Amino acid sequence: MEGVVSVAGAVKAEITVHPKNKPKSVTLSEAKGLKILRFAQKDTGSYVTLNSRKTKKSGPGLAKILSFALFAALLAAFLAFIGGRGEYAASLNKVNAWNKQRFDDFYALPPDSLDLVFIGSSHSYCTFDPLLIDGALGTFSFQMGMPLQFPDATYYTLREILNRQRPDTVVMELYWGVMSADFDMKQADTLFQVMRNDALKEDYFKNVFPAGSKIMYRLPFARFQQELLGYWNAKLTGCAERTFDVSKPGEAQAGTEYYSDRGFMHCDYVITPGKRSWANQFNGFDGAKWTFSETQKKYIGKIAELCESENMRLLFVTAPVANASMEIIKNYSAVHERVAGFAQSLGVPYLDFNAVNQKERLFTDENFRDDAHLNYSGAVIACGYMEGWIKEWTKKQTTEPATE
């Protein structure tokens, strides 16, 4: 008798029954070269030989496939929801709204109408008010500083400026806090949200973004994670305060802050006691341990090359931080010397307000909105000093760099 059976769902075997008397005890052997399973049947004495041949294992069942598909769909929906909430949270950020207003105003300017442009981080737009500068210099200027902007993004900002304007002078603010890391996706996205130049965005994305950040940026739940965390933290804190009738310890600031004109941020807040001491961001900062990113050096150098190729004068300036902060910072001179030396190597005049303030005491803590940014009273002082410095270097008509 012959036939075919399935063994363990994975092996098909041809069966041959041998009606011969064999021991009634069960035996199992595998012949050399052939897989032969031999079973002696206790009742009949006959035995069965199975000449097995392997077949492909059957794939996962339909139920498993459907379960996986359902899980993937739910996960994708959840991540899309998280990304959407993050984008919504970003839209509520008033700093982002002010930054958009800044760029909208820039794009509305008549072509080739600017004489002077300021670029850099938030220290730039809190320090240099075009209305104050223009009143003294007789120029028409614009403030294009952006929150937390790294020199790599500043370079692309300047390239976009030059697509529409040809200023005589570019003032680039240099803050050491944005020159120590090679890349920050958040500040890049801040620029992408407002810049109306897809080709420049693509160039930035291709040449500046690290490989991992390119992937993260394409995923909204990762791209907006900072905004989302801040949004949820505020929501949870507010809920806890209402539920348990408690308040989070903090220091209220009286005053106003608003977008003024031509990119400048007007603010009359005054630094709080906490920001002067325990809540100061520079606690533990040691200038001797500060690192100057080679990547950011490269883009500062590219800005210098771009200005030279376009026959524009470039000036470097470091805006002041609060006096209380300078008392906390260790070895600030190490930061100053490295930045000043780099500026000199590029042949660019450099003004460090912190070094000047240590000598001349231009500012008091009352001139600062927090531990690192001037309020309007401080901006008036800084712009007055800056006007004189620009006039001095205009008069000298020299290519030799100067540092202060």
Structure confidence at residue 5 (pLDDT):
43
**pLDDT tens column, 140-157:** 999 999 999 999 999 999
Structure confidence at residue 32 (pLDDT):
43
**Whole-angstrom distance, CA of residue 319 vs CA of residue 381:** 12
Q: Give the phi and the psi of residue 402 in degrees, each rounded to 5.
A: -130, 145
Could you report how far apart the first and last alpha carbons of the chain are, in Å?
105
| Residue segments in the chain with a per-residue pLDDT below the cut of 50 | 1-18, 21-52, 240-242, 244-247
Q: Taking the model in full, what pTM does it have?
A: 0.75
Domain boundary assignment for the chain: 2-54, 94-183+250-396
DSSP-assigned letters across all residues of 143-168: E---TT--HHHHHHHHHHHHTT---S
Decide if 121 contacts 82 (C-beta within 8 A): no
Structure confidence at residue 251 (pLDDT):
77
**pLDDT tens column, 324-352:** 999 999 999 999 999 999 999 999 999 99
Structure confidence at residue 74 (pLDDT):
77
Structure confidence at residue 268 (pLDDT):
96
Decide if 184 contacts 132 (C-beta within 8 A): no
Structure confidence at residue 30 (pLDDT):
47
Decide if 213 contacts 230 (C-beta within 8 A): no
| Nearest residue to 172 via CA among 156, 147, 152, 151 | 151
Structure confidence at residue 124 (pLDDT):
98
- For residue 279 the two structure tokens come to 């809540």
Residue with tokens 């470039």: 314
Structure confidence at residue 223 (pLDDT):
59
Decide if 50 contacts 37 (C-beta within 8 A): yes
CATH 1.10.3720.10 fits 94-183+250-396, yes or no: no
